Amino acid sequence: MGDVFQFMNLARNPGEKVDAEVRKIEFKEIYQPLNREDAGEQAGRCLSCGNPYCEWECPVHNYIPNWLELVKQGRLFDAAELSHKTNSLPEICGRVCPQDRLCEGACTLNQGGFGAVTIGSVEKYITDEAFKAGWRPDMSRVSFCNKKVAIIGAGPAGLACADVLVRNGVRPVVFDRYEEIGGLLTFGIPEFKLEKAVVRRRREIMEGMGVEFCLNTEIGRDIKIEPLLQEYDAVFMGMGAYQYMKGGFPGEDLPGVLEALPYLINNVRQSMGTLPAGEAPLNMQGKRVVVLGGGDTAMDCNRTAIRQGAESVICAYRRDEANMPGSRREVANAKEEGVEFLWQRQPLGIERAADGSLRVKLAETRLGEPDAKGRRNAEIVPGSEEILECDHVLIAFGFQAEAASWFEAQGVKVDGRGRTVVSSRGEFKYQTANPKIFAGGDMVRGADLVVRAVFEGREAAEGILGWLGR
């Protein structure tokens, strides 16, 4: 029997973090991977709770205590097989999930102040090391039928849907407008959180399983939806939520004011060497930058601008730190790298000075009653206005889904916020009003976590399989 008090004798270790002075000048992942010994020891800190809160708090309901036990025993391939039973992208979720708000936040060890089991780091270790050692998904018992499904969008929902379909003998063909798979995993999340080699490796794995990718192909522009519906037995839409949310104040369209996502995509393409001809690189070197917003996208903008050599980066958010939506870990990393935070500041407008610089008008806020999500509303304090002078403003207020031009003609319905309406509890999960079309991920629930998109892609695949009679 192992040491049941290992959690007391061994400190939490998520992997060595690269020093801020080093990491803030490079686009590389900042957490070093665990080695075999460290992973086994960290997995051994798990209490194997009878009612594992970590598992329930995980959106895909990973068998966390079970694969931690397998890692402790050194059974790497068994752990990889088990982790893939619930999650199509475990090595990616291990990197980008806000574990502090999910599985690790629910870990029993937190209650005693011992520090949660490093679930995310071990999850990353399992798949990374299993792939290196030659493990691949076992497709030897899969018998392919004559059914095929078109998947629109190679983001987490689309990839998860393809994974479940191909394992059940249905051939998925994934279409995406970008030059590489991943959606925002590749083009929205900076490399200091997720190096793109990880996504490229996942593509190779999936192609080896029988998934086909058609990239640089936009449905509705390069291929019409009608022939797709005629050629394929079903269609899954995982097109994400890319519509920029405006703040509704003057000056948002001034030169030097940038939307978060195009800025992040531009930076990733610079790193990948795929910036389209005629598109100018966006670089904050030597600039004074103000980022508006408090979510993970705002943190990505903050930390990207730092790495590009910005003279200063100030992040202004309308609520306090406790009520911000972003990962606490990412905020801490941003602070270490030199980002200054202004809490409880509401933007009122942006003006352009004669010399071309920008002046951001902010007002202090006080927190009122909680909103529907439990976060306290920000109320402007009269007479508290202040001005921030800068060279660029990056607006990161979030994203929302929007209907494609062909939705109405094909009978696909959306709600008042542009989200695709599906049946999550009907006979065929995630089926739209058009019975041949299914959808999941951000375009259904609105901008949300990668792991929730993975869950919905997998659930939609189950609905498709049921509809196809598999």
**Rounded-to-integer distance, Cα 421 and Cα 430, Å:** 8
Q: Residue 3 — pLDDT band, cuts 50, 70, 90?
A: low
The stretch 355-375 carries a mean pLDDT of 90
Q: Which residues contact 365 (CB under 8 A, 6 or more apart)?
A: 318, 319, 344, 345, 346, 378, 379, 380, 381
More confident residue, 389 or 424: 389
Q: Residue 371 — pLDDT band, cuts 50, 70, 90?
A: confident
Helices (H) and strands (E) in the chain, counts: 19, 16
C-alpha dist (Å) from residue 83 to 130, 142, 156: 11, 19, 16
**Rounded-to-integer distance, Cα 231 and Cα 90, Å:** 32
pLDDT over 70 at 2, yes or no? no
For helices 450-467 and 156-167, angle between their N-to-C axes, nearest 10 degrees: 40
Give CA torsion, residues 345, 346, 352, 357, to 10 deg: 20
pLDDT at 1: 45
Q: Which helix (H) or strand (E) holds 193?
A: none
The stretch 192-203 carries a mean pLDDT of 97
Closest CA to 156 of 363, 410, 459, 462: 459
Q: Which residues contact 23 (CB under 8 A, 6 or more apart)?
A: 17, 30, 192, 337
What is the three-class DSSP state of 190?
A: coil
Question: For residues 154 and 451, is the Cβ–Cβ distance under 8 A?
Answer: no
The pTM is what?
0.95
Mark out the alpha helices in 58-118 (DSSP H runs).
64-72, 76-83, 90-96, 103-106, 108-111
The share of the chain scoring above pLDDT 70, in percent, equals: 99
pLDDT in tens, 18-75: 999 999 999 999 999 999 999 999 999 999 988 899 999 999 999 999 999 999 999 9
**Which tokens go with 422?**
């599906």
The stretch 342-348 carries a mean pLDDT of 97
Mean of the per-residue pLDDT values of the chain: 95
pLDDT over 70 at 4, yes or no? no
**Rounded-to-integer distance, Cα 57 and Cα 454, Å:** 15
Question: For residues 390 and 314, is the Cβ–Cβ distance under 8 A?
Answer: yes
pLDDT over 90 at 112, yes or no? no
**Which tokens go with 215?**
């990239």
CB atoms inside a 10 Å sphere around CB 398 = 19
**Rounded-to-integer distance, Cα 304 and Cα 148, Å:** 40
The stretch 107-136 carries a mean pLDDT of 95
Question: For residues 210 and 144, is the Cβ–Cβ distance under 8 A?
Answer: yes
Beta strands in 179-296 (DSSP E): 212-214, 234-237, 243-244, 257-259, 288-292
Give CA torsion, residues 17, 310, 266, 392, to 10 deg: 140
The share of the chain scoring above pLDDT 90, in percent, equals: 90
